[in-house]
């Protein structure tokens, strides 16, 4: 029984940590401003990037890496 409770707790902590990694401020600002092509992740630092319809390439907000869509 205790093991079940414990693994549930560690799972939810993991999920919370994942949520904290998302840059929600950027996400909401960008998604409010224009039509979206979709979401990508920077392969280097895993920052979530938002692509607009007219973009063929993204620059990572965090590390500056160029990502071709
Ligand atoms: Zn990056």
Cα–ligand 1 centroid distance for 41 (angstroms): 8
Distance CA 45, CA 65 (A): 9
pLDDT tops 60 at residue 35: no
Cα–ligand 1 centroid distance for 67 (angstroms): 9
Among residues 61, 56, 53, the alpha carbon closest in space to that of 35 is found at 53
Cβ 48 vs Cβ 60: under 8 Å: no
More confident residue, 36 or 40: 40
Cα–ligand 1 centroid distance for 10 (angstroms): 28
Cα torsion angle, 33, 20, 68, 38, sign: negative
Cα–ligand 1 centroid distance for 35 (angstroms): 22
| Mean pLDDT, residues 19-25 | 74
Cα–ligand 1 centroid distance for 62 (angstroms): 5
What are 37-60's pLDDT values in tens digits? 578 889 999 998 888 777 888 899
In a 13 Å sphere around the CA of 25, the CA atoms on its Cβ side amount to: 2
At residue 13 the predicted structure's pLDDT band, cuts being 50, 70 and 90, is: confident
């Amino acid at each position: 029984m205790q093991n079940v409770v414990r693994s549930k707790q560690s799972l939810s902590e993991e999920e919370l940590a994942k949520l904290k990694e998302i840059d929600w401020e950027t996400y909401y600002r960008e998604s409010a401003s224009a039509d979206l092509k979709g979401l990508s992740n920077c392969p280097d630092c895993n920052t979530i990037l938002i692509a607009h319809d007219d973009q063929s390439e993204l620059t990572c907000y965090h590390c500056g890496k160029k990502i071709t869509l």
